Structure 1
Amino acid sequence: MARESTCRFAILGMLCREPMSGYDLRSAIERSVGHFWQESYGNLYPTLERMAEERLVELEPEERTQGGRIRKVYRVTEAGRTALAEWLRRPVLPHVERNELLLKLFFGAQVGPEDSLAQVERSRAEAEGLLAALRLIDENVSQARSGDPEFAYQHLSIRAGLLGLEAHLRWCDEAREALQRVKRTAGSTKKKGAR
């Protein structure tokens, strides 16, 4: 079965929270689910237009900005809510992650341990930054929304991100040790061969 684009369902979920413009949707996605879900403007606007044609969303009466531009604000329709609920009930399709770091490490013997170690160190530094940002989000959301009925559901995604990043950091430490052993072994083999 072909994988259905989930962009539309991310949009429907956001619009169930409140009506938004395309710009507002992109910002809301970045602020809320951005640690595990991304949508580009290039995908967001055409999807919104298709969804309007399918009557999953509709435009609210036009607003003019202070600059005189028309601001298109979308809201979800009953058909959109139904489509989202149906999608939420379907089993998640198996997903094979495309991980460039792991692909590079798999073929790392072609360049040696130093280059692979540098890749791991960059990934570790990035993960540390993401983990710090996600911990701050978790703290802020926990304080601000703990009484909100949607909080428990949303907090599950934050926890998955936190635990995934913590696991990645532990893996980076193991990878660093393994690559340093390879580097030492390669260095001692070169010294023996030079004698």
Structure 2
Amino acid sequence: MARESTCRFAILGMLCREPMSGYDLRSAIERSVGHFWQESYGNLYPTLERMAEERLVELDPEEHSRGGRVRKVYRVTATGRTALAEWLRRPVLPHVERNELLLKLFFGAQVGPADSLAQVERSRAEAEGLLAALRLIDENVRHSRGDDPELAYQHLSIRAGLHGLEAHLRWCDEAREALQRLERTTVSTKKRKER
């Protein structure tokens, strides 16, 4: 399924929670599913307009303003809820992850182990920050006493994010060791050739 099509279902899911403007949708996506799904404003607004034309969403008839500006607030329609439910029941399509770090490492021999190691270290530092933030979210959700039935489902995605980041950190440690060994080997080989 094309990315735009999947975008529409992320929007429908968010609007099932509450009516929102495009800006609010983007913020809600960043705060809730941002560790595994992101949408740009450039994709979000045109998709919302197409969805309104298809009657999956509609503008909330009440006027909403923030700071003196009238905002377009969208809400999901019955047709939109049906479309989301149908999509949720379909099997997940296989996909190939686009991972720039792995692509750079694959071609790392062109620059050497030190540059590749720097890439791994940056990725590790970023993952540590994300993991700390996600652990706080996990803690809040686990200690939430609300009777919101969505919490159990949301917690599953949070746990997947935690496990994925923990696995990435273990891989970074493994990659660091391998690149450091490679660097030592490269240096000793270079010294032998110089003799």
TM-score (norm 2): 0.95
Distance 1:160 1:71, change over 3 A: same
- The within-5 A match list for 1:166-181 is 166-181=166-181
- The within-5 A match list for 1:113-124 is 113-124=113-124
Instruction: State the 1:141 CA deviation.
Output: 1.9
Whole-Å separation in 1 of the counterparts to 2:174 and 2:83: 44
Per-residue CA shift, 1:3-44, capped at 9, x if unaligned?
662110001001111111111111111110011110111111
The alignment partner of 1:6 has SS state of: helix
Whole-Å separation in 2 of the counterparts to 1:49 and 1:108: 43
Show structure 1 runs of 5+ residues with no match.
none
Q: Does 1:159 pair with 2:154?
A: no
Instruction: State the 1:69 CA deviation.
Output: 2.2
Whole-Å separation in 2 of the counterparts to 1:134 and 1:194: 50
Whole-Å separation in 1 of the counterparts to 2:146 and 2:66: 36
Instruction: State the 1:190 CA deviation.
Output: 1.2
Whole-Å separation in 1 of the counterparts to 2:15 and 2:183: 52
Partner amino acid, structure 2, of 1:40: S
Partner amino acid, structure 1, of 2:47: T
RMSD value, Cα: 1.5
| Equivalenced residues, count | 195
- Corresponding residue for residue 25 of structure 1: 25
Contact 2:4-2:43 within 8 A present in 1 as well: no
Distance 1:64 1:85, change over 3 A: closer
Distance 1:116 1:129, change over 3 A: same
Contact 2:12-2:76 within 8 A present in 1 as well: yes
- Corresponding residue for residue 86 of structure 1: 86
- Corresponding residue for residue 185 of structure 1: 185
Whole-Å separation in 1 of the counterparts to 2:128 and 2:65: 40
Whole-Å separation in 1 of the counterparts to 2:184 and 2:63: 66
Whole-Å separation in 2 of the counterparts to 1:176 and 1:65: 52
The alignment partner of 1:148 has SS state of: coil
